[in-house]
Structure 1
Amino acid sequence: MLSEQTRTIVKSTAPVLAEHGKTITTVFYRNMFEAHPELLNIFNQANQKQGRQQTALANTVYAAAVHIDNLEAILPAVVQIANKHVSLGVKAEHYPIVGEYLLKAIQEVLGDAATDEIINAWAEAYGVIADVFISIENGMYEKSETQENGWSFFKDFTIARKVKESDNITSFYLKPADGHNVPSYEAGQYITVRLAIPGEEFLFNRQYSLSQASRPDEFRISVKREADNDPNGLVSVYLHEQVEEGDTVEVSAPAGEFVLDVKRNTPVAFVSGGVGITPMMSMFETVATQTPERPVSFLHAARNETVHAFDKDIQQYVAAMDNAKYKTLYSDEPQGYITRELLEDMIDVNGEVYVCGPVPFMEKMISELRAIGMTDAQIHYEFFGPAVALQTV
């Protein structure tokens, strides 16, 4: 428990963090990587170059300051971040390093304004928050390792098949190199693929949604090939152009909280944009194969037919289901966008809806779903991106 004095001091720094947070986190990462370059094997370097990681950490530190009286208010975000940490192999030993360089960055940026009292209060607060993360993550590691066919950290997998799904999306079927089966997973979860790319000094970690319903012997991820000049494109281009069937990659155990609630039988809708269709495929196939009588709507937005993955697969499932609707809109065509009217026509507002896609798409869809009468409790989504110091997506 934090003392009243510590909570008061930390709360008082919130306005300063709102103003200087990005500068503090930029200095933090720079100094930490200079002292511990090995951590670049964990962090997403593309997000570092784009400044996304720095902004995300600044927002997280600010949220901690604002909610220091009631840290339970940010517990859902903590659990989401902890899932990402576990999928990346973040360990308890990393937290003191982050704490040390975060406090040093606050001192460096704020100068004399960062009094001993403020630094000591933040050191105490960070220790409490870090302990929460470590405890949650240790529980996740234990659960992952003790489940049937489970493991902790990373394990070698073989590329069993490589299948082109559209002009820019390719699926990779992954099987354990030791010949064992894989653990069962919840529809919507993801794995981390860790790669050593020739000519690059550090390892690359990328998280990909599992794009099919849980199967006993394999995982499937479906990767969008980014543009060659996109900082995020290095790994996807390597996977598309260099990784072949029979090659080996390292894979983490499934993780994530954005998952289908299979206990419900109420109407369910899936709304996706672009490569955001990947977790939806896992969820949709789970409904189609386990509860095909459940009312389902599937709305997908893509640029055009050439980049639309899984269309035939979805149509085959829909044809075999009792009460399923499916519609795709292409933005290259006139009126090729998902509108409020279409949502009203396709979605039962008494059911559940899952949303995934680019951030602007998700923000628009969530706003429109609220406008047609759906509550936040009915709308399920997850913004994929960096959220905290050791989160690297």
Structure 2
Amino acid sequence: MADAKTLTVPKGATGVLVLADGTAVFGRGFGAIGDAVGEVCFNTAMTGYQEVMTDPSYAGQIVTFTFPHIGNVGTNLDDVEADKPFALGCVVRQDVTEPSNFRNVEPFDQWMKANGRIGISGVDTRALTRMIRVKGAPNAVIAHDPEGKFDMAALVAKAQAWPGLEGMDLAIEVTGKDNRLWKDGVWTLGHGYALGEAADERPHVVAIDYGAKNNIFRNLVKAGARVTVLPATASLEAVLAQKPDGVFLSNGPGDPAATGTYAVPVIAALLERDVPIFGICLGHQLLGLAVGAKTLKMHQGHRGANHPVKRLSDGAVEITSMNHGFAVDTDTLPANVRPTHVSLFDGSNAGLELTDRQAFSVQYHPEASPGPQDSFYLFERFVEGLK
């Protein structure tokens, strides 16, 4: 790492990450050629890089993978959370090798190029992660040029001009645009995705898509629900027209307070009608805002597949997947809302439920892709409660 404004590009460097403070991190570029600006975060998961890159919650972000061997199993058509990547790019330690996995369809570097995403390898990701932990998640530009020709001053200026995620509504950019009936169940080896039943006798869940991971819908189907997905901007009338037995609030990117300008009034109106609600990640934060709590930008955020969360009802610890840079401020929860889960990393809120309504939410990802499956009971609890 060095000062970009005073540094010449090292010989052989074809990729660079330029932070808004002028710090430059050089490496070997792969994937698409060009540059992109966003927030740099780090993810500690040892598996699931394709799921991470296609998670809409990573819109506007450049992912630093702490696990060194990213790309070694290639890519396939199943391990995706959306129909395209949403993370802007990634920073990895080791060069992407030839894939070694029977499920591989396309090498990771080719997949990145085909999808317009930039990667940098050969980076000391441990040092970069430690810097983020100390200074917080920085704004930066990731760039790749096969000839190593970079206008460093221009890249610094671009990073400094980007406004950052705070105050930014990204859900509006990543949400689906149309109503759709979701049918797929969860994936199993040798069988692919199960075909869920759309039987009318199943409880009908209307899922509001703020940038949802597809595996959430699959787990709702597995738990026994019939699922209809609506866009993030769906009105109260549009939701109620579906005659839902319950409403699900999805994950998504950006600042929940910004998304809340149009989402919170709908959620608050649903609460007034005592419509059962279950929220995950951004959906959790929006439910918090709808009951009168506040959200805050975290110093570094939580991103990985090994985050311990304590369940306050019985003291059990769930090992969870997380991906969020904002959190509900527990101190602002009203009297009719109680915290249900807490992060054992930093004590931040990881779940809440209303005492006078059928509504609860969690900050983490119980659909667990990638990650363990400790928390599937939440889907069962929600769907069973609708029968």
TM-score by length of 1: 0.31
Greater relative contact order, per chain length (Cα 8 Å cut-off, separation 6+)? 1
Highest CA radius of gyration, 1 or 2?
1
TM-score by length of 2: 0.31
